[in-house]
Amino acid sequence: MTDPTAEFDRQVGTLLARGYPALAGLDEDAFTGLVEPLRAQARGGEPGPEAERVPFLLVVTRKIAPIEETMPRTTLHGGRLPGFVDHSFEAGSLEWFVATPELPAPEAYLLFDVERGEEFCGVVPKDAMRVVADRGRTLLTIDEGVALITQFPQVLVKNKCFSLGGSRCGDRRVPAIWISKRAPKLGWCWEGNPHTWLGMASAGSRAA
């Protein structure tokens, strides 16, 4: 099993290396101090070979690290090209996509028992979201999806990408992250249109 303390340190180190303190307007000590209280809640476990299941994930939200700035800090596993936000998100529209589940803290928290949900590839997103809810699980938000591919880039592979039904804007669009031009792309698809390469990411719980 993964040592949760060592894994927590690794995830913090990844954010430091990607320049998250500067995005938050903090120095490294202040940024580390912001997330340090979460360490005690980290739980051990072993990620799947492609990180299709992750024991816990450190999430820093858009309140201190804007999505437009964090997506370009992602890459595919072994890749070099930066992730990007698709042009289908018109300027400023990411702000419309807000978290539908209740979040435990506005700036940073832990997400537990994360699944990318490839079992839902080819399933109508609206139906997949209903199944996730019936299982007592929670849909991932955009912020959480970006956090997932930042910490575990191996989770994003061809034909096993995922929707992020936990962020909605009141219409039929469902955000998703997939591979385009050899890089991670944040886009959206219609809730009634299935895609063979898009599952539905979910988690067991959140805590701060």
Neighbours of 181 (CB within 10 A): 8
| 1-5, 68-72, 167-171, 182-186, range with the lowest pLDDT | 1-5
Task: Please provide residue 76's backbone torsions phi and psi, each rounded to the nearest 5 degrees.
Answer: -75, 160
Q: How far is CA 153 from CA 4, 54, 75, 104, in A?
A: 19, 12, 7, 25
Rounded Cα distance, 65 and 58, in Å: 13
pLDDT at 47: 85
For the four alpha carbons of 82, 91, 161 and 3, in that order, the dihedral sign comes to positive
Q: What is the pLDDT of residues 1-42, one digit of tens each?
A: 689 999 999 999 999 999 999 999 999 999 999 999 999 999
The pLDDT confidence band at residue 147, using thresholds 50, 70 and 90, is: very high
Q: What is the pLDDT of residues 107-132, one digit of tens each?
A: 999 999 999 999 999 999 999 999 99
Rounded Cα distance, 4 and 129, in Å: 29
